[in-house]
Amino acid sequence: MSASREIRNVAIVAHVDHGKTTLVDSMFQYAGTFRQNQAVQERAMDTDAQERERGITILAKNTAIEYHGTRINIVDTPGHADFGGQVERTLSMADAVLLLVDSFEGPMPQTRFVLRKAFEHGLKALVMINKIDRPDARPNAVLDEVFDLFVELGAHDEQLEFPVVYGSGRDGYAMDEFDDKVKDLGPLFTMLMEHVPAPPMDSEAPLQFQAVTLDRDDFLGRIAIGRVQRGTLSVGTRYALTHPDRDKYPTAPVKKLFRYEGLQRVPVEQVFAGDIAVVSGIEDMNIGDTLCPIEQPDPLPAIELDEPTISMVFYVNNSPFAGQEGKFVTSRQILDRLDRAAARDVALLVGKTQGADAFEVKGRGVMHLGVLIENMRREGFEFCVGKPHVIIKDIDGQDCEPYERASVEVPTDFAGKIIEYLGRRRGELVHMEPLASMCKIDFKIPARGLIGARTALLTLSQGEAILSHVFESWEPDGGPIPRRTTGVLVADRTGDVVAYALDGLQDRGDFFVAPGAPVYEGMVVGANNKDGDLPLNVCRAKKLTNMRASGRDDNAKIAPPRIFSLEESLEYVEDDELLEVTPTSLRLRKRVLNADLRKKAIKRG
């Protein structure tokens, strides 16, 4: 290992599902990163349990590929808008971005977001028109759209002359022209080698290493990943842990030092300027901190991200079944866990509220918070959360709310319904474009208008609509937006749900619970067909004398319950309700459990 090795640092960015992680698989393959017989799973970089289940990348991750004597450090970033903070903070590790664009879909909301961020960082973008194997690929038109997007985002001349390859990440090839002969990924690697600027490699200068990602390992403790901006990072050396907001700097030794090689972290003695390093053993290191020589502290600017747009309150569970299903239930345990999450994810902010047993958590969207909630319940936590709210920001004395750019792809026949629905939610149509038998409709819409919209759009389009959206700007309050139009069915007592009772109540609405499920007074058990909330008895058993005579199988006749996913629950819950989350259950409940007390509370306003 020497300081003069060639290095390229690139972040792969794109809209969700445009094929980033799959492309990295093929890059490993092409560069011979794995042994011939090594078993590697598909989308090898998506190692987190929720990433594999949801089929999306959630956390930005580093890897490195050796190619003809050059070390290519790669960040695979998430494409879903809720994890945009991951993209933003990892861009400081890159000298250029590789922008993937689906050859059919063209640029989508998150394509615009990540490209804008790359330009804000002064980075050059290299383009790959991906999934060229698609029968409906329209590479020429997509390239034009990409060019227009560059212009619209104010790319300067040099950025506008972006290099392009066409290819299929999945099938492992890239071409300079889309009608070239299909061969391998060579043209992509050539483009990276030629157009990603080599990093400054001043390894004699005083060290600056900034932590961009934090991780934790049972053996190594806290792990910080970042780039050696200048100088040389050496194992065993004690450095100052600096940050522009602090004027006193603690010092700490680097206990272990690693670099990426494929999916591995390989121990090394030193990492030189321009390269990506993994540091372990500095428990106090946070994202944005810079390691410097003790005698020459010179912190890099803090990492600044877009502000969160969604806020939600986490409560200690006070439901009647509290403590039955979870291991970690106290406010201290919950706060400690939330603080740990915020340390690793700078797009997540945790604050106190007035109540001692309630904490406000702010993030980028319902799925951003949903992933945290899901991780917590898997670890054994139990708690309640309230309805997510958009954050209101005061700009020059005016209340402003987040607006998003939303894009809906839908068969043209449903376009009218979609435009009408989002119009009612204050969505303004900004662009519409035919895509074969589909069309892509872009809106500017308050983030509020999109909460719960995904389910509604699916219903309106017989399951066909694909919605994606990303933060665009803060704008003055857009006015009232219709929320859930009907009330809920609420259990009026504690017990187990009985099929016979549900059977008798089926005309009231759709139930969320199945026979046998334990319920408590105040728990939401279904959607009311009408306005207002309706308390009812779902535990009523059939009188024994009728049993034999009727001989009916109540179970067979009742409709299966409507089961919400976590995110659907978060979009459904209203202000006077909570979502109770435990390792095994998600229960919607009224904040005030007793029906009489609820009425009084409503009267009091």
Ligand X SMILES: Nc1nc2c(ncn2[C@@H]2O[C@H](COP(=O)(O)OP(=O)(O)OP(=O)(O)O)[C@@H](O)[C@H]2O)c(=O)[nH]1
Residue 210: name its binding partner from ligand X, Mg ion, none (Cβ under 5 to 8 Å by kind). none
Of 46 and 492, the one with the shorter C-beta distance to Mg ion is: 46
Query: Could you list the residues that contact ligand X (CB under 6 A)?
Result: 14, 16-22, 43, 56-57, 78-80, 130-131, 133-134, 168-170
90 binds, among Mg ion, ligand X, none (CB under 5 to 8 A by kind): none
Of residues 203 and 407, the one with the C-beta less far from ligand X: 407
Q: Does 80 bind Mg ion (CB under 5 A)?
A: no
> Which residues, including other chains, have CB under 8 Å from residue 598's CB and lie 6 or more apart?
522, 533, 576, 590, 592
Instruction: Print the binding letters for residues 3-22 with Mg ion: x by CB under 5 A, - otherwise.
Output: -----------------xx-
Cβ 12 to Mg ion shortest distance, Å: 8
Write the DSSP assignment of 313-342 as a string of letters: EEE---STTTTSS-SB-SHHHHHHHHHHHH
Residue 20 beta carbon to Mg ion: minimum distance, rounded to whole angstroms? 5
Helix-helix angle 415-424:453-460, to 10 degrees: 150
What's the sign of the alpha-carbon dihedral 174, 177, 182, 187?
negative
Q: Is residue 57 a contact residue for Mg ion (CB under 5 A)?
A: yes
Q: How far apart are CA 354 and CA 81, in angstroms?
A: 31
Task: State the DSSP H helix or E strand holding residue 588, giving kind and residue range, or none if neither.
Answer: strand 586-590
- 166 and 185 in contact (C-beta within 8 Å)? no
**Which residues lie across from 240 on neighbouring strands?**
251, 292
Of 534, 547, 533, 562, nearest in space to 500 by CA: 547
Name the residue nearer to ligand X (CB basis): 17 or 533.
Answer: 17
Q: Which stretch binds Mg ion (CB under 5 A): 50-58, 176-184, 423-431, 487-495?
A: 50-58
User: What does 133 bind: ligand X, Mg ion, none (CB cut-off 5 to 8 Å by kind)?
Assistant: ligand X
Q: Which is nearer to Mg ion, 58 or 488 (CB)?
A: 58
Residue 143 CB, nearest approach to ligand X (Å): 16
What is the rounded CA–CA span in Å between residue 509 and residue 27? 52
Where would I find the H helices in 323-391? 331-344, 366-378
CA 145/CA 137 separation, integer angstroms: 14
Contact pattern from residue 303 through residue 322 relative to Mg ion, giving x for each residue in contact according to CB under 5 A and a dash for the rest? --------------------
Query: Which of 46, 442 has the CB closer to ligand X?
Result: 46
Considering CB distances under 5 to 8 angstroms, the limit depending on partner class, which of ligand X, Mg ion, none binds residue 203?
none
Q: What gap in Å lies between CA 221 and CA 283, rounded to an integer?
A: 7
Distance in Å, CB of 26 to Mg ion, minimum: 13
Which range of residues in 31-39, 54-62, 328-336, 538-546 is near Mg ion by CB under 5 A? 54-62
Based on CB atoms, which residue is closest to ligand X, 18 or 469?
18
368 binds, among ligand X, Mg ion, none (CB under 5 to 8 A by kind): none
Nearer to ligand X, 567 or 577 (CB): 567
Nearer to Mg ion, 26 or 57 (CB): 57
DSSP state of 296: S
Please give the C-alpha separations between residue 563 and each of 213, 254, 460, 512, 513, in angstroms, as whole numbers: 36, 49, 19, 6, 8
How many residues bind Mg ion (CB under 5 A)? The answer is 3
Question: In this complex, which beta carbon is closest to ligand X, that of residue 142 or of residue 498?
Answer: 142
Q: What is the DSSP letter of 28?
A: H
CB of 79 to Mg ion, least distance (A): 6
DSSP string, 407-421: EEEEEGGGHHHHHHH
Instruction: Please name the residue ranges forming H helices in 10-168.
Output: 20-31, 49-54, 84-90, 109-120, 139-152, 157-160
75/207 with CB nearer Mg ion: 75
Q: Give 16 or 94: the residue with its C-beta nearer to ligand X.
A: 16
Instruction: Report CA Rg, the chain.
Output: 27
Residue, CB closest to ligand X: 79
C-alpha dihedral (433, 434, 439, 443), degrees to nearest 10: 10
CB of 548 to ligand X, least distance (A): 54
- Residues in the chain, how many? 605
From the list ligand X, Mg ion, none, which binds 134 (C-beta under 5 to 8 Å, kind-based)?
Answer: ligand X
> Taking the complex as a whole, how short is the minimal distance between the CB of residue 215 and Mg ion, in angstroms?
18
19, interface contact from ligand X, Mg ion, none, CB < 5-8 Å by kind = ligand X
Q: Is 61 in the site for Mg ion (CB under 5 A)?
A: no
Token pair for residue 121? 């960082």
CB neighbourhood size of 251 (10 A): 14
CB of 303 to ligand X, least distance (A): 21
Residue ranges binding Mg ion (CB under 5 A): 20-21, 57
